[in-house]
Structure 1
């Protein structure tokens, strides 16, 4: 089986794929065909999902398909979504003939964009940590700094539109991605749901996850570390948050949801924390976890930019701040001074901050400066603005 996989994913196979893709790409475009993909075909989530759902409701003429990793088709079957498995004959027939691609990460390096295809890159977060060519030294497996940056620049040349959540991101994206095309500065489509959701949505999600309606929810959503990995695309994560201490302090009132980054390959064993800690890393879309959470704990993940739209407490658990800031990535703004919440460096710090927030709440106007810089475009209509910009233009 591994031998067959190596052949399928090998360089010779990729050359064949590229030739097939190019040839089919010369055929006339299907004018209303839109192909969506989220996180390498592994999820039905993020801004591609928001754009898909908006188009499904408002554009009956559009033919909408999802490009899906073959290991993740069960979800799309269960939700009765139109999908095609990546790198199958049907995919090679549909993808090059689609008029529009909507994606939130990079496509395979070998994949050429046909001349008349319109590629909408939504990306997947407001940048805190350095991106693309702004990373001084790349420490990811299977690449070098020079190769990584070259591949990033080659990818961005394929984009016709790049979605940006705010002016701050637009300036960084243009430089970090080497992008000179049209930026749709619209707010993030994925955040429309945070603005438009209802209390009924909250109750349904809690019931689905078997969380008692009267229990408060802490969402822990850390990012990945470039230099901690098993292999290409499989990153380690050693949880430094002491769940025993959290359980001892808060199990009567809270549950904790652990949401690992999509690149992290750990399988969490939470059998000792039944009813208190839940592994929701494979949950369909983090947007649902945001709206049921009363508080977010994160580190350098871009999730806090989105969560800030809810104006709920955020705690930053940054036990390796110096290493991450100085050695791994570096930041675009001073998190120590500008973070919309307290920085903590141990589980005891986290517990004290939770208790402080319980007792005092968030000070009035606490989020105002941050919100006005990063969230000012989030009004629930970003998907509409994006689709009206690219579709049939």
Structure 2
């Protein structure tokens, strides 16, 4: 099995390496060419879209996406990616892209990591090697990053450790996609669009359930669906609330690819809604009245909405010990923590806010997110001021 896996990797990577090296020998790096690359995106979105839209026309912008990391590119698309990575002066990512480990990094080229999540919650990258409970191979491309951005000055060291890079290469610019929380025109327009599509959301309070996935690797991403007591939640809440599911993209891709019937919502057409097809969650946060999550980085973005949050963590002891967190779990909490569905219902009704904890949380994790993150990010990476 291990030999077969190595053989498949070689078949995939060797042509990429050859083309990348040939192109590097004969074609110069294009100074203003920016490659936006992802193995987990179908279309432009997130931090990549905000930077793409902000850059002036003097930049040549190229997009190379693949929807799901488990899907293979066609042979021609492999060659196209090899070419793009060879000639682009800037390579922008928001997740890991394994081909960064195989390119010939040329003079002046910069691989810049815009990372998809704000804050610093679950350990990732080289930080996971420090956890004795995990035996995992770390992506070597991390070490080739020239720059990375974070949402607060206090967590720069976390990302420097994760990417094995000097801390001065990590800048607290804020997270570009959080600029929407400071854009009243965008907020009004987005709410109107969602309310037109789902009129019931306007008449009831919206609960958004957005947990992270369980599993060491993306291919194993899953969730304990049995921990959700759908009939009980419906009976207790359906008169005043609607309940939206937004699964982590990795778990959602696994659900789709394996055709799993994780639950049946047909009996609750006016209460439960699965909107996991929305790749980026921030638009949904704008209409959310109560967020239920756990160890997901959505807690950082949602702080800017200033609405109640509940941490539903029936597996808290196991999860924090196995995966590891950058800080003690209590430092991430600015709402109720519950471990069973009965307490979850009580917490939903109480809609508790924790002003002091919110202020402390913002200072530690989100102080660079001020509505100008895209501008600051582009200034840091490209040296432009628009």
Number of residues paired by the alignment?
359
Give, in whole Å, the separation in 2 of the partners of 1:138 and 1:288.
36
Structure 1, unmatched stretches of 5+, are 1-5, 73-83
Give, in whole Å, the separation in 2 of the partners of 1:131 and 1:257.
28
Per the alignment, do residues 303 and 338 of structure 1 end up closer, same or farther by CA in structure 2, a change over 3 Å counting?
A: closer
Of 164, 181, 195, which residue of structure 2 is paired with 1:194?
A: 181
1:233 aligns with 2:219: yes
Give, in whole Å, the separation in 2 of the partners of 1:89 and 1:211.
48
Decide which moves more: 94-103 or 316-325.
94-103
Over aligned residue pairs, what C-alpha RMSD do you find? 2.7
Per the alignment, do residues 208 and 28 of structure 1 end up closer, same or farther by CA in structure 2, a change over 3 Å counting?
A: farther
Give, in whole Å, the separation in 2 of the partners of 1:177 and 1:7.
25
1:69 aligns with 2:66: yes
Counterpart for residue 389 of structure 1:
380
Task: Tell me, yes or no, if the aligned pair for 1:44 and 1:285 is still in contact at 8 Å.
Answer: no
Per the alignment, do residues 278 and 25 of structure 1 end up closer, same or farther by CA in structure 2, a change over 3 Å counting?
A: farther
Structure 2, unmatched stretches of 5+, are 257-261
1:331-370 pair list within 5 angstroms: 331-336=325-330, 338-357=332-351, 361-362=352-353, 364-370=355-361
Per the alignment, do residues 284 and 300 of structure 1 end up closer, same or farther by CA in structure 2, a change over 3 Å counting?
A: closer
Cα shift at 1:94? 2.8
Counterpart for residue 121 of structure 2:
128
Counterpart for residue 259 of structure 1:
246
Counterpart for residue 274 of structure 1:
269
Task: Tell me, yes or no, if the aligned pair for 2:148 and 2:169 is still in contact at 8 Å.
Answer: yes
Of 127, 140, 162, which residue of structure 1 is paired with 2:148?
A: 162
Give, in whole Å, the separation in 2 of the partners of 1:192 and 1:86.
37
1:220 aligns with 2:215: no
Per the alignment, do residues 375 and 138 of structure 1 end up closer, same or farther by CA in structure 2, a change over 3 Å counting?
A: same
Decide which moves more: 12-21 or 202-211.
202-211
State the TM-score, normalized to the length of structure 2: 0.84
Task: Tell me, yes or no, if the aligned pair for 1:25 and 1:114 is still in contact at 8 Å.
Answer: no
Q: Return the structure number with greater helix share.
A: 2
Per the alignment, do residues 378 and 246 of structure 1 end up closer, same or farther by CA in structure 2, a change over 3 Å counting?
A: same
Instruction: Give the 3-state SS of the residue equivalent to 2:112 in structure 1.
Output: strand
Post-superposition CA distance 1:39-88 (Å, at most 9, x none): 53345332112212222xxx02222222111679xxxxxxxxxxx99834
Counterpart for residue 81 of structure 1:
none
Give, in whole Å, the separation in 2 of the partners of 1:276 and 1:85.
45
Counterpart for residue 162 of structure 2:
176
Give, in whole Å, the separation in 1 of the partners of 2:12 and 2:38.
24
Cα shift at 1:219? 1.0
Cα shift at 1:308? 0.6
